[in-house]
Amino acid sequence: MTWWWRALASPWHFLRDAHPFFLTLVVLIGPAVIAAASADSNTPGYALNSVWIYRIQVGLVFFLIEYTLLIAIWLAYQGRSVGEIQLPGGAGFALKDPAKQTADSFEQFRKTTEAQLANDNKSIALLNDIVTGIPQPGDRFVRRLRWVLFGYAQPEDRPDPREHRRESDPAQADE
């Protein structure tokens, strides 16, 4: 069964299953018909001096204005905008895709942030080298404590000279 046969056989089921946008367009035809019916009977030359052609033109123009407003409201409701308008003959314009524009700005933000973080990491490494080279207040006490307890005062990060001597001279290492 074709769609139009189903619409004629059971219009309420057809309207129940229809998309709300389609139903809105059907409702917009009513004011367009009213505008066409209320058009002047003075026909201009571009309507071929025919009242019917003039009223059809008025109805179509009114419907197109309603349709354009409906599309603009529908897109605004969805948070979008008209991305491209093409006219016959190739004229028209296109807006930049908002998603691509956002992605480009995020890419630029990522690059500048990475450069700034690299600069900050260099500064932190330099400050870390400066701070580790400063003798700490407790270092002198720790060296004295090591001397008393273990017999040497070398910090743990420096090799003990006695260990170095044992490794370089195998005769002393056996003793």
pLDDT at res. 138: 64
Handedness of CA 108, 110, 115, 117 (dihedral sign): positive
Nearest to 54 by CA among 38, 67, 66: 38
Encoded amino acid at 129, one letter = D
Q: What is the mean pLDDT of residues 144-171?
A: 59
Asked if 81 and 95 touch (Cβ cutoff 8 Å), the reply is yes
Phi, psi (5° rounding) for residue 138? Answer: -90, -5
State the pLDDT confidence band at 59, using cuts at 50, 70 and 90.
very high
Strands (E), the chain: 84-86, 92-94
Give per-residue pLDDT as tens, 85-115.
Answer: 777 777 777 776 667 777 788 888 899 999 9
Q: What is the Cα–Cα distance from 84 to 94, expressed in whole angstroms?
A: 4
Within 10 angstroms of residue 42's Cβ, the number of other Cβ atoms is: 8
Q: Is the pLDDT of residue 60 over 90?
A: yes
Nearest to 26 by CA among 9, 5, 7, 48: 7
Domain boundaries, the chain: 3-79, 135-169
For the record, the structure tokens of 126 come out as 């330099």
